């Protein structure tokens, strides 16, 4: 007991020391590492990313190669997750397919965050009429549920990884921009902004060097929490036949194929579902932990 | 208060108009000519012109947009399907009640389950029950509705044969679609309730209520719950939007003849008038739900009500501040 206390005290001392020396980012990292549930989520995410990037290392099968003789083999030694309706190895298809799901999710998150930053910081910084115009536009964008917007856009653009990314990111813009706007508005009143203006820096320069660096924490929180939802939307889109389409392996489209054989062959339904759920689970846990670490006020 | 509600309803008009323009523009900019798609390869210029005029596609962007808006506003007419020539409004009248029933029952279930479970989990914080519920909520939150639906189908429909797997003909067949709609939302409402409840029960006024000698039950339901309802209502409103948008996937899985399957078929055929109409209708419902949510805030929280009452003065003040 005393040892634990000692350790905690030492840790706390280290923490304050570190805060003084290396600034707040080190402290955030310490808080993050100490969150066990969050670390579990992070490990899940990292494992998935490694599995998907290094897919050829983890399977000897080609996700595209068809061998109709081998179709619908149940999980066994040769095919650990079984094979699909064309005799392709399901495990290989799932880990190769993860590349699309994860890449699109990250891409969409980046894109919507950038757009959100742009709109939100302009609205929050300038205020007045610009703000009114942008907020009204966001109101309109938010009246359409994000999945529905993604469906409408991707049915217009057609399928394909890039179009899917674009379609999905549209739904995330409004939320990010709103958050950004409120953060920038709270920063705008500070003295250092006034000082920057007084020393003659332009609006663009003030936003880039004095406003944006102070909004990084909420931005990271917003982005990390939206990845799970994005993966959900991607697989949903692919599931109904928009998004990424066969033969490209994507979790949602594999699941859509599995649905046709739902009565007779369970692995084609259960394993893609598991992959989708575990990925979202991991990113949700990690996102929550990141939020707690970056903004301890929220937790207390 | 009445003034605020009227203002809020009037504000819906430009929002819906904006949604309409966005949705219409998306389908207008879509590559491909619907007239050629419908007529196939062997068409004459006269035939083409006649079909284009019939579908109202011979005018420019603003002409088409104008007549589309005019049709909806004056006659509640969303136009006709490109292919079947059936009126979209008539189809809506037939299909919408099914989707709405699924949505409304789903919402009732998610509130009835989510709220008490969240409160329970907060009151018994750090108990086994709390941990179990938290883990279940986390797992459910990670399952998209369609994954849950498919797994439910495999387990209850195919393996155990307890529930039918398509349609909505018997009361039993409602169970899986409703669960698909409600379960992920139950998880979210539960988590939100737990967080807010934990925050509220540590407040001073709860301690005051206890020291007054009120029963735990009165404290919980009258003092604590009322104070944590606002974020929960916000989340619930968001869930309604999610359920409506999710109906396209849910109904597709269970083969239910509602709005979702209608829109799905239209997307596959690139039948844009139908897609536009469905998106508009759902956006309209989302707007209405947001309105109800905003009114609920004022009904529950006297502070917000007071702010609305003096909102006129406040606006002036704000504007003044902006000028200086």
pLDDT by residue (tens digit) across B69-78? 888 888 778 8
Q: What residues 167-226 of chain B have any CB closer than 8 A to a CB of chain A?
A: none
Taking the CA of residue B217 and the nearest CA in chain A, the distance in Å comes to: 26
Distance CA A239, CA A245 (A): 9
Between chain A and chain B, the number of residue pairs with CB atoms below 8 A apart is 126
Determine the pLDDT at residue B36: 77
Any bridge partners for residue A83, and if so which? A89
Determine the pLDDT at residue A299: 47
Q: Which one is predicted more confidently, A99 or B84? A: A99
- 3-class secondary-structure state, position A83: strand
Task: State the residue for tokens 């009246």.
Answer: A143
Distance CA A204, CA B288 (A): 39
Among the residues of B201-271, which ranges form H helices? Answer: 204-211, 216-218, 225-254, 259-269
The CA-atom distances, in angstroms, between A126 and each of A129, A184, B317, B322 are 8, 10, 18, 10
For residue A19, pLDDT beyond 60: no
**Confidence category of residue A161, pLDDT binned at 50, 70, 90:** confident
Domain boundaries, chain B: 88-311
**Confidence category of residue B220, pLDDT binned at 50, 70, 90:** confident
CATH of residue A32? 1.10.3720.10
**Confidence category of residue A5, pLDDT binned at 50, 70, 90:** low
Determine the pLDDT at residue A103: 92
**Confidence category of residue A22, pLDDT binned at 50, 70, 90:** low
Q: What angle do CA B78, B84, B90 make, to 5 degrees?
A: 40
Instruction: Render B75-141 in DSSP notation, one character per residue.
Output: H----B-TTT--BHHHHHHHHHHHHHHHHHHHHHHHHHHHHHHHHHHHHTTTSHHHHHHHHHHHHHH
- For A129-144, how does the pLDDT look when each residue is reduced to its tens digit (9 = 90+)? 999 999 889 988 888 8
CB-CB contact of B176 with B153 (8 Å) = yes
Structure tokens belonging to residue B254 = 């269970």
Distance CA A74, CA A84 (A): 9
Q: Phi then psi for A240, rounded to 5 degrees? A: -90, 10
Residues of B in contact with A141 (CB under 8 A): 22
**Confidence category of residue A40, pLDDT binned at 50, 70, 90:** very high
Structure tokens belonging to residue B104 = 């409304």
Q: Is residue A120 assigned to a domain? A: yes
CB-CB contact of B258 with B99 (8 Å) = yes
CB contact under 8 A, A241 and B268: yes
**Confidence category of residue A247, pLDDT binned at 50, 70, 90:** confident
Mean pLDDT in residue range B66-89: 81
For residue B111, pLDDT beyond 70: yes
Any bridge partners for residue B80, and if so which? B87
- For B10-50, how does the pLDDT look when each residue is reduced to its tens digit (9 = 90+)? 888 898 999 999 888 888 887 777 777 777 777 777 777 87
Q: Is residue A3 assigned to a domain? A: no
DSSP state of B44: -
For residue B317, pLDDT beyond 50: no
Residues of B in contact with A139 (CB under 8 A): 15, 18
Is the peptide bond preceding residue A247 cis, with omega within 30 degrees of 0?
A: yes
The number of distinct structural domains making up chain A is 1
For residue B324, pLDDT beyond 60: no
Percent of chain A with pLDDT over 90: 17
Determine the pLDDT at residue B184: 86
Residue A262's contacts (CB-CB under 8 Å, 6 or more residues apart) are: A269, B150, B153, B154, B157, B158, B165
Q: Indicate the residue of A145, A153, A240 with minimum beta-carbon distance to B286.
A: A145
Determine the pLDDT at residue B144: 85
Contacts 24+ apart (CB under 8 A), A17-25: none
Residues of A in contact with B248 (CB under 8 A): 147-148, 151, 240
Q: Phi then psi for B201, rounded to 5 degrees? A: -70, -5
Mean pLDDT in residue range A244-260: 84
**Mean pLDDT taken over chain A:** 84
For residue B320, pLDDT beyond 50: no
Q: What value does the CA radius of gyration of chain A take, rounded to a whole number of Å?
A: 23
Structure tokens belonging to residue B15 = 């929002």
For residue A300, pLDDT beyond 60: no
Task: State the residue for tokens 């000082």.
Answer: A195
Range of the domain at A282: 17-298
CB contact under 8 A, B150 and A143: no
Instruction: Render B257-298 in DSSP notation, one character per residue.
Output: -SHHHHHHHHHHHT-HHHHHHHHHHHHHHHHHHHHHHHHHHH
Residues of A in contact with B138 (CB under 8 A): 281, 284-285
Determine the pLDDT at residue B311: 54
What is the widest separation between alpha-carbon atoms in chain A?
Answer: 76
For residue B262, pLDDT beyond 60: yes
Determine the pLDDT at residue A14: 60
- 3-class secondary-structure state, position A89: strand
Percentages of chain A per state (helix, strand, coil), in multiples of 5:
80, 0, 20
- For B190-216, how does the pLDDT look when each residue is reduced to its tens digit (9 = 90+)? 988 988 888 888 888 888 888 988 888
Determine the pLDDT at residue B83: 78
Q: Which of A151, A160, A225 would you mutate first to test chain B, the one with the most B CBs within 10 A?
A: A151
For residue B295, pLDDT beyond 90: no
The CA-atom distances, in angstroms, between B221 and each of B126, B197, B225, B226 are 21, 11, 5, 7
Q: What residues 221-260 of chain B have any CB closer than 8 A to a CB of chain A?
A: 241-242, 244-246, 248-249, 252-253
CB-CB contact of B120 with B194 (8 Å) = no
Distance CA A60, CA A95 (A): 12
Contacts 24+ apart (CB under 8 A), B125-132: B125/B198, B130/B194
The CA-atom distances, in angstroms, between A11 and each of A14, A20, A295, A300, B322 are 5, 14, 19, 20, 47
Determine the pLDDT at residue A111: 94
CB contact under 8 A, B248 and A240: yes
Mean pLDDT in residue range A91-109: 90
Q: Which of B137, B202, B234, B245 would you mutate first to test chain A, the one with the most A CBs within 10 A?
A: B245
CATH number given to B88-311:
1.10.3720.10
Mean pLDDT in residue range A137-165: 86
Specify the pTM. Answer: 0.82
State the distance between the two ends of chain A, measured CA to CA, in whole angstroms. 25
Any bridge partners for residue A89, and if so which? A83
Structure tokens belonging to residue B149 = 């639906």
**Confidence category of residue A119, pLDDT binned at 50, 70, 90:** very high
């Amino acid at each position: 007991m005393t040892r634990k206390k000692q350790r905690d005290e030492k840790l706390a001392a280290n923490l304050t020391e570190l805060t003084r020396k290396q600034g707040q980012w080190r402290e955030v990292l310490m808080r993050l590492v100490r969150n066990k549930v969050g670390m579990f989520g992070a490990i899940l995410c990292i494992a998935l990313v490694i599995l998907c990037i290094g897919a050829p290392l983890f399977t000897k099968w080609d996700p595209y190669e068809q061998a109709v003789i081998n179709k619908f083999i149940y999980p066994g030694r040769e095919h650990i997750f079984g094979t699909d309706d064309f005799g392709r190895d399901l495990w290989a298809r799932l880990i190769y397919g993860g590349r699309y799901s994860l890449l699109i999710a990250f891409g969409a998150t980046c894109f919507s965050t950038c757009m959100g930053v742009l709109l939100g910081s302009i609205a929050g910084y300038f205020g007045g009429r610009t703000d009114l115009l942008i907020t009204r536009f966001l109101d309109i964008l938010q009246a359409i549920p994000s999945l529905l917007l993604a469906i409408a856009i991707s049915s217009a653009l057609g399928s394909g990884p890039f179009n899917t990314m674009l379609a999905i990111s549209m739904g995330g813009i409004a939320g990010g921009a709103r958050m950004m706007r409120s953060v920038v508005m709270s920063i705008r009143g500070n003295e250092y902004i006034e000082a920057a203006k007084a020393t003659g820096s332009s609006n663009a320069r003030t936003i880039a060097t004095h406003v944006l660096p102070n909004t990084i924490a909420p931005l990271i929180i917003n982005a990390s929490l939206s990845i799970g939802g994005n993966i959900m939307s991607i697989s949903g889109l692919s599931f109904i036949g928009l998004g990424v389409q066969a033969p490209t392996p994507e979790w949602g489209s594999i699941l859509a194929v599995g649905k046709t054989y739902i009565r007779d062959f369970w692995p084609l339904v259960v394993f893609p579902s598991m992959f989708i759920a575990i990925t979202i689970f991991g990113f949700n846990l990690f996102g929550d932990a990141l939020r707690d670490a970056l903004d301890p006020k929220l937790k207390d | 208060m009445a003034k605020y509600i009227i203002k809020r309803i009037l504000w819906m008009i430009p929002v819906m108009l904006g949604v309409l323009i966005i949705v219409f523009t998306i389908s207008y900019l879509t590559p491909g000519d619907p007239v050629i798609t419908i007529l196939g390869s062997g068409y004459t210029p006269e035939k083409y012109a006649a079909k284009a005029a019939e579908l109202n596609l011979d005018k420019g962007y603003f002409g088409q947009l104008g007549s589309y808006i005019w049709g909806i506003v004056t006659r509640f007419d969303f136009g006709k399907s490109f292919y079947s020539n059936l009126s979209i409004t008539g189809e809506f009248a037939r299909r919408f009640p099914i989707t709405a029933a699924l949505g409304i029952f789903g919402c009732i279930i998610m509130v009835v389950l989510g709220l008490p479970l969240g409160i329970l989990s907060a009151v018994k914080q750090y108990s086994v029950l709390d941990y179990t519920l938290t883990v279940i909520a986390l797992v459910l939150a990670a399952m998209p509705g369609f994954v849950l639906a498919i797994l439910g189908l495999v387990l209850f429909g195919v393996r155990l044969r307890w529930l039918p797997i398509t349609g909505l003909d018997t009361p039993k067949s409602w169970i899986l679609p409703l669960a698909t709609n409600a379960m992920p939302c139950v998880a979210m409402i539960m988590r939100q309730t737990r967080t807010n409840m934990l925050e509220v029960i540590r407040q001073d006024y709860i301690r005051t209520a206890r020291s007054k000698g009120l029963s735990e039950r009165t404290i919980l339901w009258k003092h604590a719950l009322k104070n944590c309802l606002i974020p929960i209502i916000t989340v619930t409103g968001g869930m309604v939007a999610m359920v409506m948008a999710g109906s396209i996937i849910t109904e597709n899985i269970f083969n239910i003849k509602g709005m979702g399957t209608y829109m799905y078929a239209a997307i596959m055929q690139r039948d844009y008038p139908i897609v536009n109409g469905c998106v508009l209708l759902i956006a309209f419902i989302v707007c209405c739900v947001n309105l109800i949510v905003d009114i609920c805030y004022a009904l529950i929280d006297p502070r917000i009500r007071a702010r609305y009452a003096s909102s006129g003065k406040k606006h002036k003040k704000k504007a003044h501040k902006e000028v200086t």
